[in-house]
């Protein structure tokens, strides 16, 4: 195989998935319905400092959290932790006792890394708090995001949030297990046969 497997000088890099600007959507879609939202998701950058934090519920990037954990834990309002596509679910294992919500930040909806992070948070890392998808999140992603363990979704304010609830009902059957605990299709058929 002399000509095969020629050396490939490539590093397995993927694009970062950090928010480029703060997000402030007025609604959040849950499996059960549409709620109002007051949480602000703060983008990383020089402008983000303890002094600049807005009042009320916020989510912050992992790096900022690690640098300012003590102060953030002392805030009265809820603080959630962002997990970017580039970061791994394993990176936040030691934080999970201090938070009740992980925010997956989608910069581009075709980037599916966060699906595996959500799956791991639910099935291996024992996280039972809220997992929320924000950023480039649309109707057509919601069904599968829900299956891998995401339970709250912020769509931009110009989308039809009530219609979005339909996304959870598009499929009444599935072939494989995921974080939703559905059985493998073949184990269901075992019962029949």
Binding site for another protein (CB under 8 A): 1, 3-8, 10-15, 88, 109-113, 115-117, 119, 123-124, 138, 140, 143-145, 147-148, 170-178, 183-190, 193
Is the CB of 28 or the CB of 179 nearer to another protein? 179
Smallest gap, in angstroms, from Cβ of residue 94 to another protein?
A: 19
Count of residues making up the chain: 193
Smallest gap, in angstroms, from Cβ of residue 68 to another protein?
A: 27
Sign of CA dihedral 35, 146, 22, 121: positive
Contact 60, 90 (CB under 8 A): no
Is the CB of 6 or the CB of 36 nearer to another protein? 6
Where does the chain show beta strands of DSSP type E? 27-30, 33-36, 40-41, 58-60, 79-84, 101-106, 130-135, 152-153
Binning the chain into helix, strand and coil, the percentages to the nearest 5 are 30, 20, 50
Smallest gap, in angstroms, from Cβ of residue 72 to another protein?
A: 27
DSSP letters for 102-114: EEEEESSTT--HH
Smallest gap, in angstroms, from Cβ of residue 71 to another protein?
A: 31
Is the CB of 71 or the CB of 140 nearer to another protein? 140
Is the CB of 57 or the CB of 183 nearer to another protein? 183
Ramachandran assignment for 184, one of left (phi > 0), alpha (psi -120 to 50 degrees), beta (any other): beta
Is the CB of 11 or the CB of 51 nearer to another protein? 11
Smallest gap, in angstroms, from Cβ of residue 12 to another protein?
A: 5
CA angle, 68 as apex, 64 and 69 as ends, to 5°?
105
């Amino acid at each position: 195989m002399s000509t095969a497997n020629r050396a490939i000088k490539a590093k397995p890099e993927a694009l970062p998935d950090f928010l480029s600007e703060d997000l402030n959507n007025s609604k959040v879609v849950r499996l059960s319905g549409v709620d109002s939202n007051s949480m602000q998701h703060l983008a990383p950058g020089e402008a983000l400092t303890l002094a600049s934090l807005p009042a009320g519920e916020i989510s912050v990037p992992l790096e900022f959290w690690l640098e300012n954990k003590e102060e953030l834990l002392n805030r009265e309002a809820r603080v959630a932790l962002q997990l970017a596509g580039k970061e791994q679910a394993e990176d936040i294992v030691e934080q999970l006792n201090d938070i009740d919500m992980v925010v997956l930040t989608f910069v581009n909806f075709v980037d599916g890394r966060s699906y595996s992070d959500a799956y791991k948070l639910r099935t291996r890392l024992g996280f039972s708090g809220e997992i929320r998808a924000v950023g480039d999140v649309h109707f057509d992603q919601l069904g599968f995001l829900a299956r891998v363990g995401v339970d709250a979704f912020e769509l931009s304010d110009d989308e039809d949030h009530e219609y979005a609830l339909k996304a959870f009902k598009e499929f009444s059957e599935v072939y494989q297990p995921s974080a939703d605990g559905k059985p493998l299709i073949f184990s269901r058929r075992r019962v029949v046969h």
